[in-house]
Amino acid sequence: MPTISNKYYPVRKILFFMGEGFLIFASVLGVLILFSGWNIFVIAPAEYMIRAISVTLSFQLSLYFYDLYDLRQPGSTAETFIRMMQSFGVGCILLGLLYFLFPSIIISTKVFWGCYLLICLTLLAWRSLYYLILEKKLFARDVILIGTGETAGKIVQEILQNLESGFNIKVLIGATAPVFDHADIPVVASLADLTKNPHLDRIDRIVVALDDRRGNMPIAELLNHKLRGRIIEDSISFYEAITGKILVEKVNPAWLIFSEGFDYGRLTYLIKRSIDLTFALIGIILSLPVTLVTALLIKLESPGPIFYKQERVGERGEIFSIYKFRSMRQDAEKDGAVWARQNDDRVTRIGNFIRKVRIDEIPQMWNVLRGQMSFVGPRPERPIFVDQLVQKLPYYSLRHAAKPGITGWAQVCYPYGASEEDALRKLEYDLYYIKHQSFFIDLLIIFRTVKTVLFQKGSR
């Protein structure tokens, strides 16, 4: 998953997206010129530009929804071609809707298929070139990693598994053998050994990833390298920037206290609250037909209430009642509270459907109106589970520094899970969101949530 931090967001990712958009736009415009001549720029230049832009936006949106901009592990050219064809089918449907609403931008059938063919060829060539760049690690920034323990292992794993990270670990520094699979990355005993290899000695970025720094930190050598102009970075901050999550198990209180972020201003808070109120009111009104139909179906399928009320822990640890459409049998928790399960047999047929398309979440807009929740934020958990998790997971209570949300960064980055291990993984994303929360990340989360709902990912 791409991170939202601008610190390490590779320029090539932006160039790839913009370059692909340009190729689609240029392909459409080129075919229009081929069939209509250069006089299109004299007759109605704005109209033809809009036609090219509409195709570009529709096709790039469809590529995004088919995860074709997630290039952490690029597939083969054949696989890419198949997925592109599938995504372009959705793109054609989007274009059909646009043409129905705005008939003036319609492209003739002959011109459209010419555009379609050219777009397929140019994008396939463009992506093949980009895949080659990723596989050969061209233009990746070289890194020296100090450490051979668990922290270093997590960083190595992330970079090896994510070809789009933009980094390439050239050497590990450690007196002991790595406790993880380090592939073909060489290991040297100390920073002083780098001088024996001029190529390694020219690397300008050093990441310190020691599990225990007491007595193991090569302070003198690091100061010397810093004075020589090298970038010295902490492993926690580096990991945060390349993954979009915080390595909770390795974070110490001092890092949290002195790190940047966690400074959501009052004005921004008030603006977000105003947006929540506005969209909650609009959402409740627009969803009224769906609400009525869902309520009727729930009542017809199984005995019990239409709505399900449950206590959750909110902002600053305050307890509130969350509202959802009932998706389980009325006696689902007759033996006490338990985590949700895959293919949970307590879920009704209607409940299974409304969970997949997130209709069961609609009543939570009342919680948003009442100020207990926001549209975006960490998902609120039940008090009984919070009491358990606070005891077992470091910094779990920090989730309550932000208002809980209907959707969140953890929900769009991590598959649905219902265990203590899943709670830890989600906490890594939740703390990242609390540290970096802004309008930009909220919009990104909402956009990804739409994709999740349309493709029914993560439902249970």
Q: Mind listing the pLDDT tens digit for each residue in 158-180?
A: 999 888 888 999 999 998 889 88
239 vs 13: which has the higher pLDDT: 239
Res 459: pLDDT: 43
Backbone angles phi, psi at 101, to 5 degrees: -80, -35
What's the mean pLDDT in 376-389?
93
- Least Cα distance to 21 among 69, 67, 66, 60 occurs for 60
What's the mean pLDDT in 268-290?
93
pLDDT level of residue 340 (50, 70, 90 thresholds):
low
Res 10: pLDDT: 60
Half-sphere exposure of 57 (CA within 13 A, CB side): 10
Residue 224 predicted with pLDDT over 70: yes
**End-to-end Cα separation, the chain, in angstroms:** 21
What's the mean pLDDT in 216-226?
89
Say what the alpha-carbon torsion angle 120, 123, 126, 129 is, to the nearest 10 degrees: -60
Residue 419 predicted with pLDDT over 50: yes
**Buried b or exposed e, range 226-239, using 16+ CB within 10 angstroms:** eeeebeebebbbbb
pTM of the full structure: 0.85
Backbone angles phi, psi at 246, to 5 degrees: -105, 130
Res 339: pLDDT: 57
Say what the alpha-carbon torsion angle 208, 212, 218, 222 is, to the nearest 10 degrees: 30
The amino acid sitting at 374 is S
pLDDT level of residue 1 (50, 70, 90 thresholds):
very low
> Domain 141-244: which topology?
Rossmann fold (3.40.50)
Residue 456 predicted with pLDDT over 80: no
Res 292: pLDDT: 94
- pLDDT tens per residue, range 96-124: 999 999 998 899 899 999 999 999 999 99
pLDDT level of residue 405 (50, 70, 90 thresholds):
very high
Distance CA 377, CA 445 (A): 9
* DSSP H or E stretch at residue 446: helix 439-454
Residue 457 predicted with pLDDT over 60: no
Question: Is residue 344 exposed (0-12), middle (13-18) or buried (19+ Cβ within 10 Å)?
Answer: middle
CA 428 to chain centre: 13
Domain residue ranges of the chain, discontinuous segments joined by +: 11-135, 141-244, 266-454
Residue 7 predicted with pLDDT over 60: no
- C-alpha dist (Å) from residue 260 to 38, 217, 266, 378, 432: 53, 23, 17, 20, 11
207 vs 347: which has the higher pLDDT: 207
What's the mean pLDDT in 384-409?
92
Bridge partners (DSSP) listed for residue 208 = 146, 234
